[in-house]
Amino acid sequence: MAHARSGLIWAFAALVPLLFLGVFFAWPVLAIVHLGLRDGGVGEVLAAAGTWELVGFTLGQAAASTVLALVAGLPVAFLLARCEVAGTGFVRAAVMVPFVLPTVVVGLAFRALWPDGGVLPIVLANAFFNVAVVARTVGGLWAHTDRRAEDAARALGASRPRAFASVVLPALLPAIGSAASVVFLFCATSFGVVLVLGGARHRTLETEIYLRTVELFDLSGAAALSLLQFAAVLAVLLLGGLARRRRETALSLRGRAEVVRRPTGGEWGVVAVAFAVVLTLLVPVVGLVVRSLSTVDGWSLAGYRALTGTGERGTLAVSGVDAAVNSLRTATDATLLALTIGVFSAVVLVGLRRGRTPLGIGEVLDTALMLPLGVSAVTVGFGYLITMDALPGDLRTSPALVPLAQALVVTPLVVRIVLPVLRAVDERLRQAAATLGASPWRVWREVDLPLAGRSLAAAAGFGFVVALGEFGATSFLARPDAPTLPIVIARLMSRPGQLNSQMAYAACALLMVVTIAAVLLIEKLRVPSSGEF
């Protein structure tokens, strides 16, 4: 009886995050779908030749970026998973830096190197972002793949390249497929980078949706494009899901073997390439700092000093410092919100698995929590604009709107980081605590919480960084008098003036420093091989 009752309690608890997702994710997205279908905008947009050019460019640049990210990421994956050389700790952290950098910052870093923008920097910047995804996803599987299969192939007479092609590569293929689909998704919906580097010449679906909404007020056209993008994203997610399923079954077959060795012979070449990739990744980062300090008159801190003002000829409604403070406040709120929902959801998911509960609720919640990762933030932000009127309390003009949208983006990350750790807590450890007199709440506080503590801190740091750099949804929702730093940067870059761009670079450099500090902290707190990223 007690068991059946606790099962029901867990099932009811699962409704809380589901309700949150329903109101703040499903509803806005469905409203967009409805808007696109209602006004017949879809047919019109689909018939326009320009639309297919957009689709072509969107997919083309995403494909090129994905190939580049794979080529650059695989040597790094090899280095992280298989090699015992000095400096892997540095590589592990350095490769993560681009992934968490705000998109606007990355866009600007590449603009510092290619002042005119163009297709090449767009592809390079998107690949730059996603090397970490390839290195971590493929490296994760590689580190769990038994090295002895490779040794056996070599002992049977296969050359090193032959053994790699016939034994290693097939084993890694699921991870490579999964990484490629995730990277493709990120690149196809990449917003800040394309907006900064492409300008009006090179547009993707994502930036076009933004431009139509904000500049042209063509809501139904934007909705139709959102719908088109949603369909494309769904297709890629389904393909990625298939690859992931194969990977998970493959993973469960293997134990953890000692796979790290000192490289030999030709492997040193791969290691050298990996280090070269990592050093190349640092070029835009360093370039950005250099650019922020150099003016036509030589080295200067003018950009940093300008942050206390509102830019050349009052480009901004508030000063750079105010925007920075607002950024920190918003990101903190978003992180707290995401931690609350994410940890609650993770606890519910663990509870659902333990108890005997109505079928499928756990699976539904698990999938629903991942969906926001797959839908473009621009679509969500746009959806908020057209739905939040209907809620009581005038949420649309409320300062709570931006943290809500950011929390939606951060929550899936929190769940992915915390859930594996909570699931790994041995059930009998909880039972031992219970037999010693700890009530269920006390067990959670005395056992689960301390054991998951480090991953909670890591999730908070990671979430904070992502919220800090969130641009897609925020650009729709932030009020002009309360912008975040990424919004200010984009605004400064879109207006002429030497001081404006100097100020933007300085703001980027500051944002980058905060981000890198957070990443280094996360790397310290990481529980080894838990979670995906």
Binding site for another protein (CB under 8 A): 1-3, 426, 428-429, 431-440, 442-443, 446-447, 450-451
* Integer Cα distance of 176 and 360 in angstroms: 29
Query: Measured from the CB atom, is 329 or 454 closer to another protein?
Result: 454
Write phi, then psi, for 47 (nearest 5 degrees): -75, -25
Minimum distance, C-beta of residue 455 to another protein, in the bound complex (Å): 13
Query: Measured from the CB atom, is 264 or 435 closer to another protein?
Result: 435
Minimum distance, C-beta of residue 425 to another protein, in the bound complex (Å): 10
Beta-ladder partners of 83: 261
* Integer Cα distance of 49 and 394 in angstroms: 40
Query: Measured from the CB atom, is 173 or 527 closer to another protein?
Result: 527
Query: Measured from the CB atom, is 72 or 443 closer to another protein?
Result: 443
* Integer Cα distance of 130 and 73 in angstroms: 8
> What token pair was written down for 58?
């969107």
**Rg (the chain; Cα; Å):** 24
Q: Which amino acid is at 321?
A: V
Minimum distance, C-beta of residue 444 to another protein, in the bound complex (Å): 12
Contact call for residues 168 and 150 (beta carbons, < 8 A) = yes
Minimum distance, C-beta of residue 7 to another protein, in the bound complex (Å): 12
Minimum distance, C-beta of residue 3 to another protein, in the bound complex (Å): 6
Task: Give the 3-state DSSP-derived string for 360-422, with helices as H, strands as E and coil as C.
Answer: CHHHHHHHHHHHHHHCCHHHHHHHHHHHHHHCCCCHHHCCCHHHHHHHHHHHHHHHHHHHHHH
Query: Measured from the CB atom, is 375 or 447 closer to another protein?
Result: 447
Query: Measured from the CB atom, is 38 or 353 closer to another protein?
Result: 353
Minimum distance, C-beta of residue 9 to another protein, in the bound complex (Å): 14
Query: Measured from the CB atom, is 363 or 426 closer to another protein?
Result: 426
Query: Measured from the CB atom, is 4 or 364 closer to another protein?
Result: 4
Per the listing, tokens 């790397």 go with 523
Minimum distance, C-beta of residue 2 to another protein, in the bound complex (Å): 7
Per the document, the length of the chain is 533
* Integer Cα distance of 107 and 196 in angstroms: 5
Query: Measured from the CB atom, is 159 or 431 closer to another protein?
Result: 431
Contact call for residues 38 and 365 (beta carbons, < 8 A) = no
Question: In sequence order, what are the residues at sequence separation of 6 or more whose Cβ sits closer than 8 angstroms to the Cβ of residue 392?
Answer: none
Minimum distance, C-beta of residue 522 to another protein, in the bound complex (Å): 20
Query: Measured from the CB atom, is 358 or 440 closer to another protein?
Result: 440
Q: What is the DSSP letter of 480?
A: T
* Integer Cα distance of 323 and 489 in angstroms: 10
CA 243 to chain centre: 19
Q: Which amino acid is at 326?
A: N
Query: Measured from the CB atom, is 364 or 432 closer to another protein?
Result: 432
Minimum distance, C-beta of residue 442 to another protein, in the bound complex (Å): 7
Contact call for residues 75 and 134 (beta carbons, < 8 A) = no
Per the listing, tokens 């163009």 go with 118
Under DSSP, is residue 295 helix (H, G, I), strand (E, B) or coil? strand
Under DSSP, is residue 276 helix (H, G, I), strand (E, B) or coil? helix
Taking 3-state DSSP, the helix, strand and coil percentages for the chain, each rounded to the nearest 5, stand at 80, 0, 20
